[in-house]
Structure 1
Amino acid sequence: MMIKCEHPQYKTKPKYICKESDGCSERKNPGVQDEWMENGDVSLYDDTRAGVLMVFFRELKAADAGTYRCGVNVSHYTESFTELQLNVTDDAMFVTESAHLGEEVNISCQIPEEHKVHFCKEDDNHICQNISTSTVTEMNGSSERNEERVFTVSISNVSVRDAGVYWCGAETRDTHLTFISLNTKIQLNLILAPVVRREGESAEIIFSYDSIYKSKSKSLCKGKCSTRDRNTLNEEKETKTDRLTLNDDVTARVFTGTITGLTAEDAGKYWCAVTLERDVNYLYTHLIVIMNEELNLTKYEGDDMSIQCKHHDEHQKLFCKAHEPSMCVKDGVSLETIRDDRFSFSDEASTGVFTVNITDLREEDSGIYWCGAHIITKANLQLL
């Protein structure tokens, strides 16, 4: 939540905020003017040009509710303040959106009909104040119910800079106070082009980053990187396996992880993690490993056939007919759907295998098939 307290007549006087229901025992002040400063669980900004104290609350808790005093020290003996009541509810929402580099993405949220919309993007200090600098091609609201409306922002030509955390909420203004309640968190992940390599080859996983992260340490992260069971690859692991090399070119602002001697275990989703107060994992790509062992199938017309395909991610399955696997990769690592009643799929998630069944084989079914997920097997089908 953001609170803006206006004190236009005391622009350069020291300002503070405290919880009156606690007796104002702890007064939080910026300490420095015209610069965001962190003070405990809040960040404060004393805007001396406008005479405004901005207070940004992160991750509100039920205990934060109460009466606050937003004031200014006029002199040693005199102060001026405004009281405000903060209520904390459980209606916060978290949404994850993913977009491919160069695409357009729509970010939507609901706000009460009578409130002004506030849409912002977190900066390096996790403060959400301004709209993203991206090209906003659409910003409108449409009524769905009597009390709430859907607000949509469209960002065109998505770039690396657009990845991150956005917030959407309602803005309410009183005489000398502005309340910005940010209750919808949208994490925008950017999907980079997949890396397709054969077993035994080397793969370069390349991430570009914004200039603000030049001095930050970076790591290559595989799998569920936002949870405790994530698998982080780092320099220490390189020493153990001697197959991983990490390179950070700060001049070109490119971070590269090179894996040699690829195996099936190397396949999967990789994130670029930048170490700040917490790891930021907004950019990811898929490493697809083609197994050297091929399936050579010879059948007669009219026969039925089954092909077993390996996978370790039930949301990413691939089966298609093409000369090269790169032709199968559509929108990153999406399924190439086959609209034919003769083709059916069965999945045994516990075994890491899904099966493709083809009935009543025809001459046009001959050719090269690719199946799997991040691990892909080549199947050559010849009909007699």
Structure 2
Amino acid sequence: MKILLIFTFYLISGSVRCFDVTGYSGGSVHFNSWNLWCDECLKYVAKHDPHSAIIKDKKYGQWINGEKFTLYRNKHGNLMIFIRELNTTDAGRYRIGVDGQWSFEITLKVIEDSCCGKSKTVTVNSGEYVVFRCEYSQDYKNNWKTIFKEGKDSIDEIYSTLNQTERFHFFDDRDKNLISVNISVVNVYDGGVYFCSVWDNKNSHSFVNVVHLHIIHKVGSYKVTGYSGGQIIIKCEHPQYKTNPKYICKESDGCSERKYPGVENKWVENGDVSLYDDTRGGVLMVFFRDLNAGDAGTYRCGVNISQYTEWFTEVKLDVKDDASLVQRVYKSVYVGEEVNITCQIPEEHEVSSKHFCKEDDDHICQTVNTSEVTQMNSLSERNAARVFTVSISNLTVRDAGVYWCGTETSEEHLSFISLTTKVQLNLINFPMIIIICVFVILLLIGGFTLIVWKLTHNKRQDAVETHLPSNSSDGLLYAAVRVQKHEDCPTDDIDTFSKEIYSDYASVNHRTRLN
């Protein structure tokens, strides 16, 4: 019975393969299980002493990530194991397998050596030639050397001593324990993570050093001119990468400080500039306000194609000091009237490149928003004065604000607006006040005139009443009218009244005045 139990245990557990794997602190190891990947099966990685589950995942994809462990399927369908950024605490015994099908164990040894476990970053322009080197341990002088590259869902061997191409050259200097990798005519697809490895045994490679190769592609170089005290808006166009992260940086500091908008389709202030990531057009707008000599220099206005590949437009910003161009103009105009603004064009710009704009709530000057369409006079190449005039008619209160005059220049991958003349437009409502005041004054005069007339009329009425005698008897009124001849009268004839007087009693006595 005892023998049967032992035999049964052997059938259930089966034999487990064991392998020794060596890595270096700071480096990585790459291991081939030589077993097929199973999409629907549960894959796992567990560490012994003490026992802990590292990966226990059921995925249909080809790539499973743990904290340091990665399981993936290579191009031959095998399950591969990759352990990165090793340190001495990672040493120990591990079991790796597919639940219910197969498993094996590895004993990982981690060595500390100054030769290995290093990471470096190499940056090169597309079309150029790049060289990177990796040191390895003296213990691996005679071992096979290879270069691996990390892809989206795999880590594949791409170059070795026996696998070279026209653009790629691999050299193993065993006297110096040094691997040299040369890549000519670098393109944007060469960017990525490269691992310099030594063959540890039949199943594993030890990745002794890692190289992060960054490829930058310059799509063009342009000179941009601004003026001290003025403003400039630079528009970098990347229409094929509308939603990719965009940035600007200054080459004088090695582009170490890259400024990203951080949000889409909104102005964001970042230090001394404001940025706008236009994802609809694939344009990065960079706004410099209050330009000064310190802003001059060479900039990269770029877009990240991938983590290791980027395209950029080289912008050479020249800031000139010209007090005759940079002006501050203040205008006060009545509401409803028209204003004319005269703007000067710098010598460096075409006269047809005129630009006029109004500051928005973010103090960014891009477009014009007025009650009436802003008219700019037509210019010709023979405009000796190099000026243009802007007319805004039928002004309303909302037209008040800050306007800028300048020029706009467009190139294939870049355009920029240089603003030099600042116009502060104030709107006055004074004519309406005058109308109201005149109306009030006329109303007062009319009221005063009416009061005076009323008082005068009342006085006359009172005077007439005082010369009319009255007899209270029978309630009848009597009136007597006397007509006398004046001494200056030229004739003795006196017309007698022929008109009737409507009253109950009336008597008229005709008397001749004696001198």
Specify the TM-score bucket, using the shorter chain as the normaliser.
Answer: 0.5 to 0.7
In the other structure, the counterpart of 2:126 is 101
TM-aligned CA deviation for residue 282 of structure 1: 5.0
Note the 1:152-301 alignment, pairs <5 A. 152-156=181-185, 158-174=186-202, 177-192=203-218, 193-199=220-226, 200-206=231-237, 217-222=244-249, 231-235=259-263, 238-240=266-268, 244-248=275-279, 255-260=282-287, 263=291, 264-265=294-295, 267=297, 269-270=299-300, 272=302, 274=304, 282-283=310-311, 286-293=314-321
Give yes or no for the alignment of 1:26 onto 2:58: no
Q: In the alignment, residue 31 of structure 1 is paired with which amino acid?
A: K
Give the Cα–Cα distance (whole angstroms) in 2 for the partners of residues 20 and 107 of structure 1: 38
Corresponding residue SS for 2:193? strand
Contact kept? 1:34, 1:48, Cα under 8 Å: no
Give yes or no for the alignment of 1:85 onto 2:108: yes
In the other structure, the counterpart of 1:300 is none
TM-aligned CA deviation for residue 222 of structure 1: 3.0
Contact kept? 1:139, 1:154, Cα under 8 Å: yes
Give the Cα–Cα distance (whole angstroms) in 2 for the partners of residues 102 and 244 of structure 1: 30
In the other structure, the counterpart of 1:143 is 173
Contact kept? 1:15, 1:71, Cα under 8 Å: yes
Note the 1:110-121 alignment, pairs <5 A. 110-111=135-136, 112-121=140-149
Change (3 A) 1:96 1:27: closer
Contact kept? 1:271, 1:282, Cα under 8 Å: no
Change (3 A) 1:153 1:113: farther
Contact kept? 1:119, 1:131, Cα under 8 Å: yes
Note the 1:10-89 alignment, pairs <5 A. 12=38, 14-23=42-51, 25-29=52-56, 31-33=58-60, 35-46=62-73, 50=77, 52-74=78-100, 80-89=103-112
Please say which structure displays the higher CA radius of gyration.
2
Q: Which has the higher helix share?
A: 2
Corresponding residue SS for 1:102? coil
Contact kept? 2:188, 2:215, Cα under 8 Å: no
Contact kept? 1:30, 1:38, Cα under 8 Å: no
1:181-217 deviation line (CA, Å, top 9, x unaligned)? 25232332425244431125543435587xxxx6965
TM-aligned CA deviation for residue 290 of structure 1: 0.9
Give the Cα–Cα distance (whole angstroms) in 2 for the partners of residues 208 and 67 of structure 1: 52
Contact kept? 1:69, 1:82, Cα under 8 Å: yes
Q: In the alignment, residue 265 of structure 1 is paired with which amino acid?
A: D
TM-aligned CA deviation for residue 36 of structure 1: 0.8
Contact kept? 2:123, 2:214, Cα under 8 Å: yes
Corresponding residue SS for 2:89? helix
Q: CA RMSD in A?
A: 4.2
1:30-70 deviation line (CA, Å, top 9, x unaligned)? 522561122333221146964x3212223333422222233
Provide structure 2 residue ranges, at least 5 long, that are not aligned to the other structure: 1-27, 323-347, 349-515
Give the Cα–Cα distance (whole angstroms) in 2 for the partners of residues 154 and 47 of structure 1: 25
TM-aligned CA deviation for residue 2 of structure 1: 4.2
Q: In the alignment, residue 141 of structure 1 is paired with which amino acid?
A: F
1:118-177 deviation line (CA, Å, top 9, x unaligned)? 32333346x643539x9752322142526x133323142x22232333332223233xx2
